[in-house]
Chain A
Amino acid sequence: MGILLVSASFAALALFPVSRLLTRVVWDAEDGTIFPALRTIVDQADLAGVVLDTLFIVLLSGALAVVVGSALAWFNERTDARIGALTDSLPLVPFLLPPVAGAIGWVLLLSPNVGFLNVIIRVAAGWVGIDISTGPFNIHTYYGMVFVYAIYMIPYVFLLVSAGIRNTDYSLEEQSRLCGAGPVRTFFRVTMPTLAPSLGAAALLVFWFGISLISIPIIIAPRAGIDVLAIRIVRLINFSFPPDTNAAVGVGLIVIVLVGTAWWVVRVVLRRGRYVGAAGKGTRRVRHQLGHWSTPVRVAFALYILAAAVLPIGALAIVSLHGFWTPNIDWGGLSLRFVSDVVFDDPVTFRALINSLRLGLLGATLGTMVAALIAVYVRRVPGRFSAFIDGAVKLPATISSVVLAVAIVVSFAGSPFNLHGTLVILILGYLLIYFPQASVAADASVAQVSTELLEASTMSGASDGRTFRRVTLPIVVPGLVAAWALLFVRIVGDLNVSSILSGSGNTVIGWQMLNVAQHGGFAALSAIALVTTAATATALFVVMGVARRLTGSADDIAPMRLGIRGGR
């Protein structure tokens, strides 16, 4: 009953501003036209091209991310290629960097004329007598966009799939091998189905993430002549006053349809798929010995980390030490002055960082708890109402964060709520927009709890509450930690929500970063981005270390073995 109350209230909160927006689809009160938003879709002749471009980039990068991210997760969890905390956490680094900073990092590296990497390559080519005038690489292309999108999607996949792998019972794979199935057959018949919930959730998340991304395409796409849906929506809002909200909502409808389709597909997989549930805590952790393959795999890890994290962060660091972007770096003139001026000596920035970290802690914890409750509720009580709740809380993610933030102000800032300028309205904004990510991660981990396990617990005499605490919760903890991490990082690094809801009374770091960039340029932005990344990484490291300790200690308990029957 309590779960139902919480779930329903949160869904109501999510629906309130959204419904105000969606009514515009049907009725424009000002000029009395019906279906004004739908009309605008027809009016924009090039929209089909924009949809195709968006889908091409998101699907291709998403597929790449799922393959690479899952491989990294598997190698890290199931083989001896793991190098302790290094391979546990380094693939997550791109995810820690605010996307706008990451995008700028790649522009610094691969701008066709003065990108650092391009300059280095041209100079090296010059040594061997090859004369290249521009490039050779250009970030402002389709392949450049797919590359940067994929880099930022991989950590999502890594996080979710790692959690999933940690929960799977290796004995199933062992038994498959003992029955004579080869490694490939085992992989496709046992491992993959076990991981289906995590893979499905990861695929959905990266699709969502990709479709709603604004900061990466705004930096990279215009010069490539590419337009994506999220940018089109922002243009319609920002082009002139009054904003063309009808058209923005109209394009938003397309996003809702695309995301809704993806969500429905994954839901079908999770509910009807014949996958194996987790057999409980205390499964043996086995690591394959790779022998002499472990070195190449480690090298691959290192290369990935170099490409995804070290290079862009290095570029940002150089620019923040230098004061402005240039390929002719005055190595002697590098100084920490800009960093300290902008971050530590400026009380507003410092307070903004603390605010953001606090909001991140609170928002992530609240969001994860609610996500867990809703996931459990939906799982236990299947049916139309729970599907409605599930959908309602995920719906805001499909709406452009810019549009939604405005709707939140209109709905909650004035009477009777009077939340204007407070931290509460910020948390509300963050939760409504980022909650769906946590929700997807929580769904996946709850899906791994097999009914047999729950039945066994109940038949042994445990109450519902005890079953939840002793059986369900420990299994879902890795996935929930992933959900927590997702929320935390997104909230601290947020720009779009903050730009509307934050202000002088409730400054946060994303907003402050934009402000400061206006007179401080890339150097100031990089300085703030890097310090923010370091702060979030530290916080995450601590939390995930604690979580690993919590789930790791379960190895001491004698394992409960169940059959290989497929379960719901």
Chain B
Amino acid sequence: MPIRRSLVLVTVVLVTLVACGSDDATTPDDAGSPEGEEPTGEVATPADEATADALDELIAAAQEEGTVVFLHAPPALEEVVAQQFGEKYGITVEATRVLSTELEQRYSAEAEAGVVSADVVLTTDTGFVESSVENGWMLDLNAAGIPGYPGDFPEEFRRGPTAIPLATYFGIGYNTDLVSEEEAPTEWEDLLDPRWQGQIITPDLNSAIVWMQLWDVLERELGSDFVQGVGEQDLIVIDVSVAALEALGAGEASLLIATPNLIASGADRGAPVAYRQPDLGVEVPFPLGLSADAPHPNAARLFVHWLLSDEGIQAVSEAASLPNIFDESTLPANPVVAERDVSQERQQELLSLLGLS
């Protein structure tokens, strides 16, 4: 008897616990547009120039919706979007930073299930946005009714159906306790210096396509002798970017091939790390995606309009410690966009040049 009674008691307690937690179960949808109803107000029609009317209509409709859900791969954007966009228009921004692989997995799983919860995403794979547009999950930005787009948005940062409001470039991080400013490499070729033998950290190229893309560009631009030379430096492979950064900061090695924002996050914590941008900058884009079945379609469009404007780009690049695409002085001297697809044979070739296969 006592055991049965205690089982019943336990069940009651547990059910109560879960019921009390149900405030957590509200999805972002609850705050947004009512299900099944069209948002009031027309969606702004495409126009060659931003007309004040179209924008005003969009603002009104967006404010009715009241919320926009934003998933982003670059770090540290939550506050700035809430303050600069949210406060400006009186719209709540639910911004969550998600690693790009999880972001893409979640987004596509949700899209397949028909329950897309994000209005706008900023991810790292242009191919993902392109195929999402093809699948009908996302809209082609050129025909989505964004006031003022494309306008004078820089051509080199428009990629077909998407745009790149933020981009970063691969470079070389170094440990400032082990490497002085004079000694620190300034160009990719400096990696061949014998003093960096066993001192260079890189992720496994098989962990994400961006790494294959990087070395694909470097091999094309600087030659296979260069890549092979780097391969002979006895590279240290550390996959998880946080672990790689911490290893650099601790002095496990002197150099790390990375992006500037990763290094900046370590320096912010007080780790002895700094960054050098070689002239040859291989781009890591953060393409923008706008959901076709966005829970808050007008707020989404307004947000994209803001994000692609001078003001928005300035705000987010500063917050994320990334180059400002409108300001050439923040970009590398020779920026290169990588080829998206790297064939299996090419991947094997790069791996064996680097001594990693």
Contacts and interface: CB of A to CB of B under 8 A. Distances in A.
Interface in A239-293: 239-243
Given A240-B209, A518-B97, A519-B76, A500 B105 contact: yes
Interface stretch (A70-78, A106-114, A159-167, A378-386): A106-114
Interface string A523-555: 101000000000000000000000000000000
Given A324-B270, A521-B242, A358 B21 contact: yes
A520 B104 CA distance: 23
A112 B252 CA distance: 8
A406 B103 CA distance: 12
B209 A324 contact: no
A426 B115 CA distance: 16
Interface in B156-180: 177
Contacts of B207: 222, 235, 238-239
B252 A114 contact: yes
A518 B117 CA distance: 23
Contacts of A219: 239-240, 243
Contacts, number: 178
B106 A239 contact: no
Contact of A240 (B109, B127, B270, B272): B127
A492 B272 CA distance: 34
Interface stretch (A8-16, A297-305, A417-425): A417-425
A116 to B, nearest CB: 10
A505 B250 contact: no
Contacts of B104: 241
A184 to B, nearest CB: 39
Interface string B88-118: 0000001011010110111011101111010
A222 B238 contact: yes
Interface in B68-82: 75-76
A355 B21 contact: yes
A113 B102 CA distance: 32
B265 interface: yes
Contact of A326 (B101, B125, B239, B251): B251
A223 interface: yes
B112 A410 contact: yes
A16 to B, nearest CB: 13
Contacts of A420: 27, 110, 113, 115, 117
A222 B106 contact: no
A499 interface: yes
A503 interface: yes
Given A327-B251, A423-B21, A409 B110 contact: yes
Nearest to B199: A113
Given A219-B243, A325-B247, A365-B11, 16 more contacts: A107-B243, A114-B251, A218-B239, A218-B240, A241-B104, A241-B131, A361-B17, A409-B106, A409-B109, A423-B18, A469-B3, A499-B99, A505-B27, A518-B75, A519-B76, A522-B243
Per CB-CB distance, the 6 closest pairs between chain A and chain B, nearest first, are A414-B113, A409-B109, A240-B209, A241-B128, A421-B27, A324-B271
Interface of B: 1, 3-4, 7, 10-11, 14, 17-18, 21-22, 24-28, 75-76, 94, 96-97, 99, 101-102, 104-106, 108-110, 112-115, 117, 125, 127-128, 131, 177, 203-204, 206-209, 236-240, 242-243, 245-247, 249-253, 265-266, 268-272
19 contacts: A222-B207, A239-B206, A239-B207, A240-B208, A325-B246, A358-B21, A362-B14, A365-B14, A369-B7, A414-B113, A420-B117, A423-B22, A423-B24, A499-B102, A500-B109, A503-B96, A504-B96, A507-B24, A514-B99
